[in-house]
């Protein structure tokens, strides 16, 4: 018996020893636990053994609330990958502290008089992290890759919609030489557009527009991007370790053209799916910044480390026009008017979200002096009395009081919002609606197959222009409620080619009015906000409202 116990014990110890040896992603730094007297990030254990301690002991650490599924540029479409890629790569322009696009790898650019040709002049001496020169050809290769059939992130439209022969190249009807992207020489990159696009230069801050070194990417084949060793970088940081489930560790890129202005030596993006665990990690000084969920906002909103802001993301109700009930405009208007969005964001969400006054988010570019939202005003009125009248009118037209079913995805926030909508419609219209909760995939399938009445969904801006929201409703797909309106399409298509900025803006303002107010195709609910805590000794850690959401480049420790 004793022998057996001894043998079993030895085997168990060996197994544990083996597992312990190979499972961890980091060093054996013992300073992980949080003493409150320690500075924000100096107590953090770096999970990358190769982190450069000479570049500074303090580590900037943020978290991702989902896994970083891929870093491959032409496959990535999620926030988590852009959190990492935006700091390890750079495009022709980069967003600054005020979310304005500023010259980055391109020192300057010229726009032709017809606003169709953009000529970008790259900086002197640009190089990749392995020392290889970075040239205009790297942009041509990356952009063609993003436009090709190989791209799996669903973002090719962000180039093919604008660049000459981009769509044709994607369909195999045009050669690479015929596409409007050219390297005039090593330092000059020229792009030819189909139509004037006032926000085109601002698009180049997105990860899809970052350059790639053809020789390197080709040499790595299908291994490119699967690990930190199989990538080279051109941004403020290089990635030193990457595990989709654990996160990414970054260190300052000495080959970066503006390395002198990058003050933080080491940074991390750590995967933490549980919001309360992330808050605990922040309180234990293991994170430099954390996002708060609604339940914690009240407790921290007077904390000097607290801040909140609204993002360029709108949550809205999508009505299906092919559904006989929702085809009735009075019914749609009644539903939209019966929801008090102010109470929704204050009492239910309480996380920095703003009540929607329209589909286009607060703060999105309008003209030089005002935002789009300021210009179009509040077109999502809450008026329970009017709502009731529209409802009764709609019921009369339908010849019955319809039963409504709201399709929602199964995350906790959406379920809470759906319950609130249910109570609002009960209170203000006197009806009981059914909430149909499905996984994201199942909800999408139902919407795709036009098998829904109205659904809760959302859209986050890809770039800082109202077009990112408004051009979604031009193709009449079931997902977008099967909306087909010639006038709407005329406005959007007109805005796509209009050279006069004021006229273009006016078309977009009209389009939003038509979609939300006149035709009530969507009922915007709220613009998603985020409430965060940031350690008081961390400065310049920027969270952009659109595109890449965290910027390490300007951060420093005080």
Partner 1 sequence: MIKYICKRLIYLALTLWVIVTATFFLMKKLPGSPFDAERFNMMSVQQQQAILEQYGLNQSVPRQYIKYMGNILHGDFGTSFTYTGQKVSAVIGGRIGPSALIGLQAVLIGLAVGLTLGIIAAWRHNSGIDYFTMIVAVLGVSVPNFVAAALLQYYVALKWGILPVGFWTEWKCSVLPSIALSFSATAMIARFIRTEMLEVLEQDYIVTAKAKGLSPMKVLMRHAVRNSIIPVVTILGPIVVNLLTGSLAVENIYTIPGIGSLFVDSIKANDYSTIMGITIFYSAFYIFVVLIVDIAYSLIDPRIRLAAGREG
Q: Which of residues 26-65 bind partner 1 (CB under 8 A)?
A: 26-30, 32-35, 45, 47
CA 164, 167, 168, 172 torsion: positive or negative? positive
Judged by CB under 8 A, does residue 150 bind partner 1?
A: yes
Query: Taking contact as CB under 8 A, which single stretch among the options 188-196, 223-231, 300-308, 463-471 is the one that binds partner 1?
Result: 223-231
C-beta of 23 vs 125, nearer to partner 1: 23
Select from 40, 95, 151, 262 the one that contacts partner 1 (CB under 8 A).
Answer: 151
19 binds partner 1 (CB under 8 A): yes
CB of 271 to partner 1, least distance (A): 7
The verdict on 314 binding partner 1 (CB under 8 A) reads: no
Alpha-carbon gap, residue 497 to 293, rounded angstroms: 42
Query: Per CB under 8 A, does 540 bind partner 1?
Result: no
Number of residues that bind partner 1 (CB under 8 A): 76
Q: Which secondary structure element, helix H or strand E, spans residue 86, and what is its range?
A: helix 79-88
User: Considering only residues 100-119, where is the footprint of partner 1 by CB under 8 A?
Assistant: none
- Part in contact with partner 1 (CB under 8 A); list of ranges 131-139, 179-187, 278-286, 320-328: 278-286
6 binds partner 1 (CB under 8 A): no
Beta bridge partners of 119: 110, 190
Backbone angles phi, psi at 292, to 5 degrees: -95, 145
Query: Using CA atoms, how far apart are residues 536 and 492, in angstroms rounded to an integer?
Result: 45
Answer yes or no whether residue 80 interacts with partner 1 by CB under 8 A. Answer: no
- Sole window of 163-171, 211-219, 327-335, 362-370 interacting with partner 1 (rule: CB under 8 A): 163-171
* Contact between 11 and partner 1 per CB under 8 A: no
Given candidates 184, 245, 298, 497, which one binds partner 1 under the rule CB under 8 A?
Answer: 245
Element (H, E) at 454: strand 454-460
Query: Which is closer to partner 1, CB of 32 or CB of 308?
Result: 32
Q: 526 is written with which tokens?
A: 């709220």
From 91-99, 154-162, 341-349, 412-420, give the range in contact with partner 1 by CB under 8 A: 154-162
Site membership for partner 1, residue 215 (CB under 8 A): no
Our CB check for partner 1 shows the closer of 314 and 330 to be 314
Tokens of 45: 């254990």
Q: What separation in angstroms does the CA of 280 have from each of 274, 296, 440?
A: 10, 12, 28
Interaction of residue 155 with partner 1, rule CB under 8 A: yes
**Would you count residue 189 as binding partner 1 (CB under 8 A)?**
no
Residue by residue, DSSP assigns 31-78 as: --S--TTS-TTTTPPPS-TT--GGG-S-EEEEEESS------TTT--S
Alpha helix locations (H) across 344-476? Answer: 372-376, 384-398, 412-429, 440-448, 467-470
> 407 forms bridges with which residues in the sheet?
436, 455
Phi and psi at 24, nearest 5°, equal -85, 155
Q: 48 vs 512, which CB is nearer to partner 1? A: 48
Residue 167 makes contact with partner 1 by CB under 8 A: yes
179 three-class SS: coil
CA dist 192 and 141 (Å) reads 16
Asked if 243 interacts with partner 1 (CB under 8 A), we say yes
3-class secondary-structure state, position 188: strand
Stretch that binds partner 1, among 102-110, 279-287, 383-391, 421-429 (CB under 8 A): 279-287
- The nearest distance, CB 75 to partner 1, in angstroms, is 4
Select the residue interacting with partner 1 from 444, 482, 493, 513 (CB under 8 A). Answer: 444
Is 178 an interacting residue with respect to partner 1 (CB under 8 A)? no
Does residue 320 contact residue 454 with C-beta atoms inside 8 Å? yes
| 1 lines the binding site for partner 1 (CB under 8 A) | yes
Rounded Cα gap, residues 505 and 368, in angstroms:
11
The residue (of 337 and 408) whose beta carbon lies closer to partner 1 is 408
Report if residue 482 touches partner 1, rule: CB under 8 A: no
Residue 194 Cβ, how far from partner 1 at the closest point, in Å? Answer: 16
Give yes or no for a contact between 433 and 440, defined as CB atoms under 8 angstroms apart: no
| DSSP secondary structure letter of residue 472 | G
């Amino acid at each position: 018996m004793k022998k057996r116990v001894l043998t079993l014990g030895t085997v168990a110890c060996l197994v544990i020893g083996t597992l312990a040896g190979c499972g961890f992603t980091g060093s054996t730094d013992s300073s992980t636990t949080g003493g409150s007297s320690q500075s924000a990030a100096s107590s953090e254990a770096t999970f990358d053994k190769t982190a450069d301690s000479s570049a500074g002991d303090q580590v900037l650490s943020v978290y991702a609330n989902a896994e970083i599924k891929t870093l491959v540029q032409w496959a990535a479409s999620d926030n988590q990958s852009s959190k990492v890629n935006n700091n390890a790569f750079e495009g022709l322009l980069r967003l600054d502290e005020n979310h304005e696009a500023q010259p980055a790898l391109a020192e300057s650019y010229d726009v032709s008089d017809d606003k169709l040709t953009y000529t970008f002049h790259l900086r002197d001496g640009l190089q990749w992290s392995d020392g290889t020169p970075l040239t205009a050809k790297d942009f041509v290769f990356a952009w063609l890759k993003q436009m090709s059939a190989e791209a799996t992130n669903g973002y090719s439209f962000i180039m093919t919609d604008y660049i000459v022969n981009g769509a044709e190249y994607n369909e195999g009807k045009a050669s690479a030489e015929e596409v409007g992207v050219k390297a005039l020489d090593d330092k000059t990159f020229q792009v030819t557009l189909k139509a004037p696009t006032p926000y085109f230069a601002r698009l180049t801050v997105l990860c899809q527009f970052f350059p790639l070194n053809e020789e390197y990417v080709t040499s790595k084949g299908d291994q490119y991007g699967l690990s930190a060793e199989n990538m080279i970088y051109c941004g403020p940081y290089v990635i030193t370790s990457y595990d989709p489930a654990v996160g990414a560790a970054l260190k300052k890129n000495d080959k970066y053209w503006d390395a002198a202005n990058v003050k933080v030596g080491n940074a991390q993006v750590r995967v933490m799916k549980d919001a309360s665990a992330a808050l605990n990690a922040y309180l234990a000084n293991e994170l430099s910044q954390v996002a708060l969920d609604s339940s914690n906002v009240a407790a921290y909103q007077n904390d000097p480390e607290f801040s909140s802001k609204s993002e360029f993301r709108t949550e809205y109700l999508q009505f299906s026009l092919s559904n006989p009930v929702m085809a009735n405009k009075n019914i749609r208007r009644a539903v939209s008017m019966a929801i008090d969005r102010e109470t929704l964001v204050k009492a239910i969400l309480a996380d920095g979200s703003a009540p929607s006054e329209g589909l286009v988010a607060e703060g999105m570019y309008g003209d030089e002096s005002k935002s789009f939202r300021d210009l179009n005003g509040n077109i999502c009125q809450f008026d329970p009395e009017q709502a009731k009248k529209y409802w009764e009118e709609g019921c009369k037209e339908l010849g019955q009081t319809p039963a409504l079913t709201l399709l929602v995805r199964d995350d906790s926030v959406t379920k809470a919002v759906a319950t609130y909508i249910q109570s609002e419609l009960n209170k203000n219209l006197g009806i009981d609606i059914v909430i149909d909760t499905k996984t994201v995939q199942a909800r999408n399938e139902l919407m795709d197959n036009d098998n829904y009445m109205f659904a809760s969904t959302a859209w986050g801006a890809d770039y800082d222009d109202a077009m990112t929201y408004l051009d979604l409703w031009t193709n009449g797909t079931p997902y977008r409620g099967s909306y087909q309106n010639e006038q709407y399409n005329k406005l959007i298509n007109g805005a796509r080619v209009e050279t006069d900025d004021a006229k273009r803006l006016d078309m977009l303002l009209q389009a939003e009015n038509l979609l939300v107010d006149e035709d009530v195709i969507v009922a915007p609910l709220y613009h998603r906000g985020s409430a965060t805590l940031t350690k008081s000794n961390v400065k310049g850690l920027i969270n952009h409202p659109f595109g890449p959401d965290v910027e390490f480049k300007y951060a420093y420790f005080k």
